[in-house]
């Protein structure tokens, strides 16, 4: 017991050692700039209207059904404010307040509609949480200029590295599947659609494609699995970072994945020594901030903060694994899919048509999701059973509001995963109006179809005379 206490105390003391806040500050600047870019991009691309203002129906997160969008002008104003807060975070102006307000606004926006869910938005919220909690404005900030530059406790960097490392490791674990490692799917499908790319496009065609997809799959898996480890070791850090620059750069070119590569690269900088910006500045002889090591950190890893931080990270380490409790293929049934860092793991599309009947109308009336959702929402909903259920409830409520009684809603939901033949995702005989959403295994979701994904057997053009 005393040995355990001693270990905890040693860990606590080491975590509280003051180190330079420069690397954390650089991360904060990058985070702020990404927050600014994210909000500005949403405004410039018209996404604020498209995603949150125009849709008549929003698909809610379980338990957050009460979260509704503001009016159009207020939503635009919110994004302008988020862009401004991003700049304030980057500049280190009232850093903690700016980060807290941005976190609340960003998380609110993410909670508005499940169809906008992206893993990297979750990561951005988590990183934002740490930007609020930790003294990220201790250096390279207007706050530091006003109050004086301070060191940070070493443990802050440990926590952030663990946060970033958890994403990589879980992303790697998510790739441990026959589709990814044996069949090279869905990478093969995606690469095949990029054969027109300059320079590398030729590799995505017959006869290279299957091998390139398979090699890229393994490379991606090993990259994610080893990144935290090799970034942590001093001897391999630079090389691993260079690999990550190439890896995230390549995914950015090949896939439309928004800011994710930049977020991960920003996070990866945290693995370098705490004073790397100062060293780099000295090497360039242009900029050399006064070292902050030795100044008193404004944050201490006391027993309670330590326990809370470790507990929070432990939850994050375990939560993504919950999908395994459901059995089957999470990419098919999607139970436990969200918040589990299954990044770029599936190519899935669905076709959904509801069948409604009510007292006095025994014949099925087909209802298209398009009557309620826009095409983007519909394409997201069609592969996710809980969203199919949610819309079924909405349709039932709509028909009840028209004065119908005894409303029953069934669904023809067909989906294709990684190019497998389409199969029913939801039991067509179950009245979804009577099914309640929840975390228990859903018996109304049908098992995934057997068989391998789309096999890449590129063939030269078939003889057209056969037509």
Residues 239-298 that bind other proteins (CB under 8 A): 255-258, 260
Q: Which is nearer to other proteins, 155 or 453 (CB)?
A: 453
For residue 462, how many other CB atoms are within 10 A of its CB?
8
Task: Identify the three-state secondary structure at position 185.
Answer: coil
Q: Which stretch binds other proteins (CB under 8 A): 21-29, 98-106, 135-143, 350-358?
A: 350-358
Rounded to whole angstroms, the Cα distance separating 163 from 131 reads 12
Task: Output the six-digit token pair for 159.
Answer: 């926590």
Question: Is 342 a binder of other proteins (CB under 8 A)?
Answer: yes
What backbone phi and psi angles, to 5 degrees, belong to 414?
-110, 140
Cβ pair 9, 283 in contact under 8 A:
no
Q: Which stretch binds other proteins (CB under 8 A): 138-146, 272-280, 304-312, 412-420?
A: 412-420
Question: Is 203 a binder of other proteins (CB under 8 A)?
Answer: yes
Which of residues 7, 104, 176, 193 is near other proteins by CB under 8 A? Answer: 193
Question: Is 424 a binder of other proteins (CB under 8 A)?
Answer: no
Q: Return the residues of window 448-467 that contact other proteins according to CB under 8 A.
A: 454-459, 461-462, 464, 467
Question: Is 20 a binder of other proteins (CB under 8 A)?
Answer: no
Site string for other proteins, 141-180 (x = CB under 8 A): ----------------------------------------
Rounded to whole angstroms, the Cα distance separating 215 from 201 reads 16
Which of residues 73, 198, 438, 450 is near other proteins by CB under 8 A? Answer: 198
Q: Which stretch binds other proteins (CB under 8 A): 20-28, 281-289, 370-378, 440-448?
A: 370-378
Spatial neighbors of 52 by CB under 8 A, at least 6 apart, are: 58, 69, 75, 109, 112, 113
Where helices occur in 17-71 by DSSP H, the ranges are: 22-44, 47
Task: Output the six-digit token pair for 320.
Answer: 């993504």
Which of residues 421, 441, 447, 452 is near other proteins by CB under 8 A? Answer: 421
Task: Output the six-digit token pair for 315.
Answer: 């939850």
Spatial neighbors of 275 by CB under 8 A, at least 6 apart, are: 19, 20, 22, 23, 291, 293
- Closest distance of CB 390 from other proteins, Å: 17
- Closest distance of CB 136 from other proteins, Å: 25
Is beta strand 152-153 parallel, antiparallel or unpaired with respect to 408-417?
Answer: unpaired
Report the alpha-carbon angle 119-51-260, nearest 5.
25
Burial of 28 per CB tally in 10 Å (0-12, 13-18, 19+):
buried
Cβ pair 428, 411 in contact under 8 A:
yes
- Closest distance of CB 451 from other proteins, Å: 11
Question: Is 329 a binder of other proteins (CB under 8 A)?
Answer: no
Q: Which stretch binds other proteins (CB under 8 A): 105-113, 316-324, 411-419, 442-450?
A: 411-419
Cβ pair 274, 281 in contact under 8 A:
no
Cβ pair 282, 288 in contact under 8 A:
yes
Question: Is 362 a binder of other proteins (CB under 8 A)?
Answer: no
Provide the Cα torsion 319, 321, 324, 325; round to 10°: -30
- Closest distance of CB 116 from other proteins, Å: 9
For residue 315, how many other CB atoms are within 10 A of its CB?
9
- Closest distance of CB 118 from other proteins, Å: 6
Q: Which is nearer to other proteins, 137 or 453 (CB)?
A: 453
Q: Return the residues of window 57-116 that contact other proteins according to CB under 8 A.
A: none
Task: Output the six-digit token pair for 30.
Answer: 């990058």
Q: Which stretch binds other proteins (CB under 8 A): 1-9, 94-102, 289-297, 343-351?
A: 343-351
- Closest distance of CB 246 from other proteins, Å: 17
Q: Which is nearer to other proteins, 132 or 414 (CB)?
A: 414
Which of residues 75, 90, 166, 344 is near other proteins by CB under 8 A? Answer: 344
Question: Is 182 a binder of other proteins (CB under 8 A)?
Answer: no
Q: Which is nearer to other proteins, 77 or 201 (CB)?
A: 201
């Amino acid at each position: 017991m005393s040995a355990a206490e001693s270990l905890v105390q040693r860990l606590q003391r080491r975590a509280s050692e003051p180190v330079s806040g420069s690397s954390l500050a650089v991360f904060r600047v990058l985070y702020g700039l990404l927050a600014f870019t994210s909000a500005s991009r949403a405004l410039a691309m018209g996404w604020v209207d498209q995603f949150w203002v125009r849709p008549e129906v929003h698909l809610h997160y379980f338990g957050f059904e009460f979260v509704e969008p503001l009016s159009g002008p207020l939503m635009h104003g919110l994004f302008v404010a988020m862009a401004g807060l991003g700049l304030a975070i980057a500049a280190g102006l009232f850093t903690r307040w700016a980060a807290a307000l941005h976190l609340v606004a960003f998380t609110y926006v993410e909670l508005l509609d499940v169809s906008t869910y992206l893993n990297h938005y979750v990561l951005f919220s988590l990183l934002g949480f740490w930007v609020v909690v930790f003294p990220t404005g201790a250096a390279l900030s207007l706050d530091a200029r006003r109050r004086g530059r301070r060191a940070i406790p070493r443990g802050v960097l440990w926590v952030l590295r663990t946060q970033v490392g958890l994403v990589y490791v879980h992303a790697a674990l998510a790739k441990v599947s026959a589709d990814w490692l044996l069949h090279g799917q869905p990478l093969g499908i995606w690469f095949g659609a990029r054969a027109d790319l300059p320079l590398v496009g030729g590799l995505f065609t017959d006869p290279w494609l299957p091998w390139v997809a398979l090699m890229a799959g393994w490379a991606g898996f090993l990259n994610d699995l080893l990144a935290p480890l090799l970034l942590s070791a001093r001897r391999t850090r630079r090389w691993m970072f260079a690999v990550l620059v190439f890896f995230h750069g390549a995914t950015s070119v090949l896939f439309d994945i928004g800011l994710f590569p930049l977020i991960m690269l920003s996070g990866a900088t945290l693995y370098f020594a705490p004073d790397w910006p100062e060293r780099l500045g000295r090497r360039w002889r242009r900029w050399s901030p006064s070292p902050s090591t030795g100044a008193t950190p404004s944050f201490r890893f006391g027993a309670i903060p330590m326990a809370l931080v470790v507990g929070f990270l432990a939850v994050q380490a375990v939560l993504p694994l919950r999908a395994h409790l459901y059995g089957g293929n999470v990419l098919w049934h999607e139970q436990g899919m969200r918040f589990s860092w299954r990044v770029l793991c599936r190519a899935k599309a669905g076709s959904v048509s509801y069948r409604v009947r009510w007292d006095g109308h025994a014949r099925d009336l087909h209802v298209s999701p398009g009557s309620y959702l826009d095409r983007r929402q519909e394409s997201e909903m069609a592969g996710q059973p809980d969203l199919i259920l949610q819309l079924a409830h909405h349709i039932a409520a709509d028909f009840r509001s028209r004065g119908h009684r005894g409303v029953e809603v069934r669904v023809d939901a067909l989906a294709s995963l990684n190019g497998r033949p389409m199969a029913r995702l939801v039991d067509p005989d179950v009245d979804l109006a009577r099914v309640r959403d929840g975390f228990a295994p859903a018996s109304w979701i049908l098992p995934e179809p057997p068989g391998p994904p789309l096999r890449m057997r590129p063939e030269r053009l078939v003889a057209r005379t056969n037509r």
